[in-house]
Structure 1
């Protein structure tokens, strides 16, 4: 299986440089220069973003993985325009017969009936509330949310029912919904975690090209904290010899108002491994072999190991060093390494229909 290349001049603002064939595809086709300049004319433009709509049959996802600290998730979108090259969700686009590469960040699917289905699911008599984490796979505040407002519609429903929620995002757009999140925060029903991978703006520009800049994410933390919303920071993923400023990120986030923190190491499942290698060859050819050698040190000699016990934090000496650095910095600054304990006892599904509890 071969890769379908996209001219380097056409990838400004995109995370990958080619259309990685997905793992279910038996063949790949690429452009051929016949001397008439057709490739130059047809492929010179950077790929545009296109949004497709689907009617979802369900929107709340459930997991029982022992290494994940939540059981309920909600993702308004499939695919993510932020274009983070390291995103472990990229291979999910393969199930849509789309490339985990450039398609993942340009061919987006929006669940247009999200609010309707969410309302129905949490109003079921057998439904038992737990913290619902928004943005567990793809970012709920990627650029398209500004127009579609699917994430906001979900928060409106959860707020009306006093349903606890947590948000993980790299998008400053979460500030738009402070009017909903602040009252929920006062009732211990909401928390937000802002991911800051690095403070190096140049690195962030090629690592996560359409996410908010690092300084902008720090401002988001400060704005949320000043509004009384519990805020945490994720310093994920940790990539050997690439984003080596964990301590500085944690210090800046704490100064901005974050009081909880967590991290994960780089995960390279399925098609993500060759895509990340290509990214390294393009941007860091001088250290690409060293980076992958350390990644494999943390994965038992492989690019990736899906073992529940080690997939989030890795194993071996390098993983232990990261763990110690994180723990010592959190202890020094006063960060809690535990997720916020939100209140599920206030949930009232009857509020969704205007009918209160009978007893």
Structure 2
């Protein structure tokens, strides 16, 4: 009995009473399990690092970490602190990870995060600006609470201004991403977007020489017109069809697939857009025939060819209907 009791006492004395002790205990137990024959070897550095990181995360309070990050972001630029920009970027990247959880995204608003976030849109460092916009996109995506909060804080008009005015291409791309996350399937956000002439902003973005920005702009147009067909009239009013056709008549690029998709979305089930496409000066039917022939046999452009074929059929069907009348 005494021997058994001694063993129990020894095991009890090894039970860790703090996190550091728990890490060491797990390391020892893992080593023992990996070496059942009693040949003890050290745990690899990679395994030790992973275990320590996992246990550290278990003891982390996300809201407290976000509060600390917001304090860091709120610090004014300081020439004496050369690391401040890097620290702000790291804080934003950490919050992006936390806020992928919907509940933590809501907590971010409740601790005053939106006021601090809006200030970062004007930071002199582009990487701070684009990480801030990335965070906004993560916050509002599929999150009605955060969508409403972003509208109350009037963030959408601010971000539209960034698309028009920021000199950094990545910042503009992230701004369009954030707006897309906020507006898709959200009527209240779309109303603010329209009231602030958002479609004109997107149209100007498509005139840039940044291909990724143009692709995102075309994709967003398609999504919004699918959400609400009434927006197709706005497309006609602002000359969007002229612009899309004009771009399609430029030297062919992979970007044209997205342009063709956007134009097809506007024209589908919309007589006024069809009429616009028939204007003689656009020469669209000839352009579509040439494009379909050009893409024949090019598997990488199969979707664009299908879009062009459907668009051509719609326009030709309307011609037939007009003749019949």
Query: Same fold per TM (> 0.5)?
Result: no
Higher relative contact order (CA 8 A, sep 6+): 1
| Higher normalized helix content (fraction of residues) | 2
| Higher normalized strand content (fraction of residues) | 1
Q: Could you tell me the TM-score, scaled by structure 1's length?
A: 0.29
